Structure 1
Amino acid sequence: MDDTFQPPFKSCVTDANVASVMCSYNQVNGKPTCADPDLLSGVIRGQWKLNGYIVSDCDSLEVMYTNQHYTKTPAEAVAKSLLAGLDLNCEHFTDQHAMEAVKSGLVNEGAVNKAISNNFATLMRLGFFDGDPKKQPYGNLGPKDVCTVEHQELAREAARQGIVLLKNSPGSLPFSPSAIKTLAVIGPNANVTLTMIGNYNGIPCKYTTPLQGLAETVSPTYQPGCSDVLCKEADIGSAAALAASADAVVLVVGANQLIEWEDLDRVDLNLPGKQQELVTQVAKAAKGPVVLVIMSGGGFDITFAKNDDKITSIMWVGYPGEAGGLAIADVIFGRYNPCGHLPMTWYPQSYVEKVPMSNMNMRPDESNGYPGRTYRFYAGETVYAFGDGITYTQFNHRLIKAPKHVSLPLDESHRCRSSECQSLDAIGPHCENAVEGRSEFEIHLKVRNAGDRDGSHTVFLFTTPPAVHRSPIKHLLGFEKIRLVKNEETVVRFKVNVCKDLSVVDEIGKRKIALGEHLLHVGNLKHSLNIRV
């Protein structure tokens, strides 16, 4: 928990001062998270000092009683959650059963008052009791503000920034509008609307499909290839014939809400139905460059496309929203230099066959062939890795400032002064005075746009700690997004807290700072840092 699942939430509370944290449906070690006092009161409100309220995911208390059978009565489920530190239940379960919980003595009014106070304190901070809402700073916002020109452009910009270019052979992207006289647009996601907004969405102002977006630059010819993403049957002959007659091909495939959304998990990592066959045969028939666009929430095993020389470019667009078609066209025709990076690793199908859905362990287990999870612990073959993404230009990195050694000062009586230690507790005076009386050091990198196009670039700083306490093989310390015109350079600075950022979690859940060589890396640039006593 402390090693993988809690750090992002802790950062939101301690660094960003969020006003609310939501507990989930699931149980951890047999206890529902919304009824766990150690988690809600002990960690979130106690250790992290949450200044706000804790809310359940919708119907979590009902699930706790009805599906998980954690309590004998609905009132007991409400009481256990309130006593654990829950302030607000999404949906109506608490409304219906809280009074019974109080009357039967399962929970006292003090616990109820505490929850109400946390909720009302947040409302007060939001100005809920400050009079006429229309006289407050955001009191006049309404539907009229959603579809302004500025907000529609924001939707387009968000989609552009989210596009990840994964493969681009020489002479492929970006296309020149003057050179592409005939463009074939093929695939079950090439002319979709609802698919682009995923689920948990608002009402779009309007849709621009990939086909419509491309049609604003050239006059394309369209062939869906499959009637939907399930692609049980594919009109490969028509699609291949169209590809053979066009100067270039854009294939838009992937997923939609038929195969992935909340409460509907995919069972494998393959493109659905006959999509792979469609892609392969279209690429084989094409006479010009072929761009494969993957529209999906999660990754796919597209090793076949990565290794196919006929497929000259691959991009992942996620579910790009209402302006997705415009954004895709902007990247394909070079009006926008792609700058996105994968937020997760794309695994081969063989990986799924080794990872049971019920096993949430992060670290690999050689005894049973379990490969581990995420880029931090999985060292096997990948299709594409976390952080992958290329652009139409070239960014170079050069290290200009970083320490080679950090000596942690210890008291004369400390046992590690007289014996070999693999690690130290990641708390104490030695952490506060790790670097010349301070707890942190700086890394400075000079980054240069060495290409012929302006572009944005995200600098990722990773660390590989010493191999103690089954530590991660790689861990993201920080990232910084910059924009540089061609031939421009700038200095990117990272502050690294020795004990906070470079610590690992030991076998019993305690944070430790590993002694020995820590490898810091940005792209292909590597720097060795030795931490010693």
Structure 2
Amino acid sequence: YWAPNINVFRDPRWGRGQETPGEDPAMIAAYSVEYVKGFQGEYGDGREGRMMLSACCKHYIAYDLEKWGKFARYTFNAEVNAQDFEDTYEPPFKSCIQEGRASCLMCSYNQVNGVPACARKDLLQKIRDEWGFKGYIVSDCDAVAIIHENQTYTSSDEDSVAIVLKAGMDVNCGSFLIRHTKSAIEKGKIQEEDINHALYNLFSVQLRLGLFEKASENQWFTRLGPSNVCTKEHRELAAEAVRQGTVLLKNDDSFLPLKRSEVSHIAMIGAAANDAYIMGGDYTGAPCDPITFLKGMQAFVPQTTVAGGCKNVSCDSTDGFGEAIEAAKRADIVVVIAGLNLTQETEDLDRVTLLLPGKQQDLVNIIASVTKKPIVLVITGGGPVDVSFAKQDTRIASVLWIGYPGEVGGQVLPEILFGEYNPGE
């Protein structure tokens, strides 16, 4: 399984920053260790014992750009000095390998000081010779193909095959090696021993996973099936993650928690208020039974109404503002859902600003000016958003950051608003 993403989130506009734990190398390193241990669930004797899954630390190295201005991840050259390697970029990967004992590492698209990351023999051998890595190295998808096609670093496809295999890469995500390895052998670019070395690294991990053994009752996952997916226990664990992950940014005069006995009508405003799609971030699986913010709130307050205000998260028009204003005027409490979704930040898409998309801030301000009481502002998204306008605005009593809360996010939001869970503790 090709996770975790442990790149350092250096530019807050990075579209894949949502996949990472943050900007602090030490914190990312600690996160990577626990992530890998939980994933691999090693058991048995010995340092290279049996595993439930194979975790893959990615993307090695200095990768934190998708597409911004004239720069793109397929051709970007990250210029990194020795101190930045040592202090910033290497610590998460070193900990992931030495302490987490990850069985896979993925090399990135970008060049590092003029050389494609998957062709940096010095860096790929360092993780084995100095850090004690025991596993296989895989390219990011099509990262080998772009060495010749996009970066023009090599003069032929066969040269690309040779440079990565001899550098220490073992597996290519994509079809490039399937299409060009035979030709590379015929042209004398690589030898059989280069392929054998790569296969040894891959098969050693597959052996630890038991992939060459006949399924038995003693193996992990043998008896798992559809009935083990989306269980009550799984959904409760997901809900607890949302509770602990939500951050209370502002709460003037202890406006929250709300009292159910005093609230008979709530208005949910925002394009994300009744949209299950926005609940999941990058690389989200198909949810079992997603609960939107509207559906979750209606379980607490049956008279909960909704108005988008904006047609979508991009919020390029004010056409829906009138309907949202009228809905807000009628309600006892108004909750505005603002922020990001995958149309604003994702793989191959960086942001150009930290402000709320389009006219979302205008919507928040207009709604706050017509309500009976101050509003609650809920922010979605994986990357940071500048909502400093709300800090001193007394019309906005409370601000919550809920991120991408997943399929039970709609269940947890009213729990927080009505005090069943306190994110401020």
> TM-score, structure 1 length as denominator?
0.62
Alpha-carbon separation, structure 2, partners of 1:141 and 1:214: 34
Structure 1 pair 134–73 and aligned structure 2 pair: CA distance change class (3 A)? farther
1:168 counterpart letter in structure 2: N
Instruction: Give, in angstroms, the shift of residue 171 of structure 1.
Output: 2.9
Q: How does 1:356-505 map to 2 (within 5 A)?
A: 391=424, 393=425
User: How far apart in 2 are the matches of 1:274 and 1:302?
Assistant: 13
Report deviation, 1:170: 1.7
- 8 Å CA contact 2:266, 2:334 repeated in 1: yes
Q: Distance in 1 between matches of 2:306 and 2:178?
A: 53
- Report the counterpart of residue 6 of structure 2 in structure 1: none
SS of 1:156's equivalent in the other structure is helix
Superposition deviation, residue 243 in structure 1: 2.3
Find out whether 1:242 has 2:327 as its counterpart: yes
* Cα deviation digits, residues 239-297 of structure 1 (max 9, x gap): 23332332211100112222221111112111111110100111122222311111112
Flag structure 1 segments of 5+ consecutive residues without an equivalent. 339-390, 394-533
Contact 1:297 1:318 in 2 (8 A): yes
Deviations along 1:374-397, one digit per CA (max 9) or x if unpaired, are: xxxxxxxxxxxxxxxxx1x4xxxx
1:295-314 equivalences under 5 Å are 295-314=380-399
Note the C-alpha offset of 1:103. 2.2
C-alpha RMSD of the superposition: 1.5
Q: Distance in 2 between matches of 1:133 and 1:230?
A: 51
Residue 99 of structure 2 aligns with which residue?
Answer: 15
- Letter paired with 1:144: S
Q: Deviations over 1:83-111 (max 9, x none)?
A: 11101111111111112222222122222
Confirm or deny: 8 A CA contact 1:59 1:93 kept in the other structure.
Answer: yes
* Partner residue, 2:170: 87
CA distance in 1, matches of 2:100, 2:345: 31
Structure 1 counterpart of 2:247:
164
**Which has the bigger relative contact order, CA under 8 A and spacing at least 6?**
2
The structure whose residues are more often strand, as a share, is 1
Question: AA paired with 2:393?
Answer: D
Give 1:2 deviation, angstroms. Answer: 1.6
1:116-195 equivalence runs, <5 A = 116-132=199-215, 136-195=219-278
Aligned to 1:39: 123
Describe the shift of the 1:299–1:145 C-alpha distance in structure 2 as closer, same or farther (beyond 3 A).
same
Matched, 1:205 2:288: yes
> 2 CA distance for matches of 1:245 and 1:194?
28
Using the TM superposition, give the Cα deviation of residue 214 of structure 1 relative to its aligned residue in structure 2, in angstroms: 0.9
Q: Secondary structure at the match of 2:400?
A: strand
Which one of 349, 366, 375 corresponds to residue 281 of structure 1? Answer: 366
- Aligned equivalents of 1:161, 1:54: Cα separation in 2: 34
Contact 2:374 2:394 in 1 (8 A): no
Question: After superposition, what is the alpha-carbon deviation per residue over 1:201-241, rounded to whole angstroms, capped at 9, x for unaligned?
Answer: 21110110011111110121211111111112223333233
Partner of 2:28: none
Q: Give the Cα–Cα distance (whole angstroms) in 2 for the partners of residues 47 and 250 of structure 1.
A: 53
Runs of 4 or more off by more than 4 Å in structure 1?
none
Unpaired stretches in structure 2, ≥5 consecutive residues:
1-84
- Distance of 2:216 and 2:144 partners within structure 1: 33
Aligned to 2:405: 320
**Matched pairs, number:** 339
CA distance in structure 2 between the partners assigned to 1:307 and 1:262 by the alignment: 34
**Percent identity over the alignment?**
47
Q: 1:2 is paired with a residue of what secondary structure? A: helix
Shift of 1:337: 2.0
Letter in 2 for 1:281: I
Q: 1:134 to 1:78 in 2, by over 3 A?
A: farther
CA distance in 2, matches of 1:52, 1:160: 36
1:33 and 1:250 mapped to 2: Cα distance? 46
Q: Is the 8 A contact 1:247 1:289 kept in 2?
A: no
Looking at structure 2, the residues matched to 245 and 212 of structure 1 have their Cα atoms a distance apart, in angstroms, of 19
Determine helix, strand or coil for the equivalent of 1:225: coil
- Structure 2 distance, partners of 1:142, 1:214, is 33
**Aligned residue identity for 1:217:** F
Normalising by structure 2, we get a TM-score of 0.77
- Once the 2 structures are TM-superposed, how far is the Cα of residue 130 of structure 1 from its aligned partner? 2.5
CA distance in 1, matches of 2:226, 2:179: 33
SS in 2 for 1:315: strand
| Greater C-alpha radius of gyration | 1
Specify the alignment match of 1:232 in structure 2. Answer: 316
- The alpha-carbon distance between structure 1 residues 133 and 85, as it changes in their structure 2 partners (threshold 3 A), is farther
